[in-house]
Structure 1
């Protein structure tokens, strides 16, 4: 007698797929919406008199101009630098969340594993 797992309805599968997509989107966008994605940027004061004062060569300047920028309008973009300062408390919180996730995942997986074994082989007690 081969083991046959319980069947899930089509509506249940659609719900699961939509829930997983929603969770992925929330997971990816929530840090951006809360301003937690990175340390931010700092702006370096740049004199926008010409492309060369912004550190751009002729090819770069040509590309900026194709996009409709002038030295004055491109200066804030070129002068913005990412701030790589590490916030240790945020890093520790991230580690704690990841570790908690794996602990919960292991506990749930263990419970499901025991349920499958009990369903397949009967109600015998699996050793702890």
Structure 2
């Protein structure tokens, strides 16, 4: 590389990336933890509210069980490991059903739109920061020949 005058290029200073303060790092960590906590808490609260609204499970005697399963469940009840309502609820929850996994189409579309917006935001922000780093590292872009491919040296 040569300088504009034809002589050797002036040595460049070593790149020093911007530094974030300890307080800024702690604030970032607290914000991320708070968002995770709120998300998990809201999910748990909504799920538990839905679970409380369910109907009572049928007794084990009315469940479609094999004789071996019935014997094992009775042994668990006799040993005091579990009680009948808990076992009945577990058996009921694991029975095959057509409406077991409901998909809310509106929520699915909303999630896809939100994810697309988020990824677009991340892409735009990352690209802007990438340009800032390149400008900081190599200097501002010079007015170059419009036919020249950016990033290529001749």
Q: What is the TM-score with the length of structure 1 in the denominator?
A: 0.70
Q: How does 1:1-128 map to 2 (within 5 A)?
A: 1-35=13-47, 43=55, 46-49=58-61, 53-54=62-63, 55=65, 56-63=69-76, 66-69=80-83, 71-72=84-85, 74-80=87-93, 83-124=100-141
Unaligned 5+ runs, structure 2? 1-12, 144-149
| Higher relative contact order (Cα pairs below 8 Å, separated by 6+ residues) | 1
CA gap of 1:74–1:125, structure 2 versus 1, over 3 A, is farther
Aligned-CA RMSD value: 3.3
| More strand per residue | 1
Count of residue pairs brought into register by the alignment: 120
CA gap of 1:72–1:18, structure 2 versus 1, over 3 A, is closer
The alpha carbon displacement at 1:87 in A equals 1.3
Unaligned 5+ runs, structure 1? none
Structure number with bigger Rg: 2
Q: What is the TM-score with the length of structure 2 in the denominator?
A: 0.60
The alpha carbon displacement at 1:3 in A equals 0.9
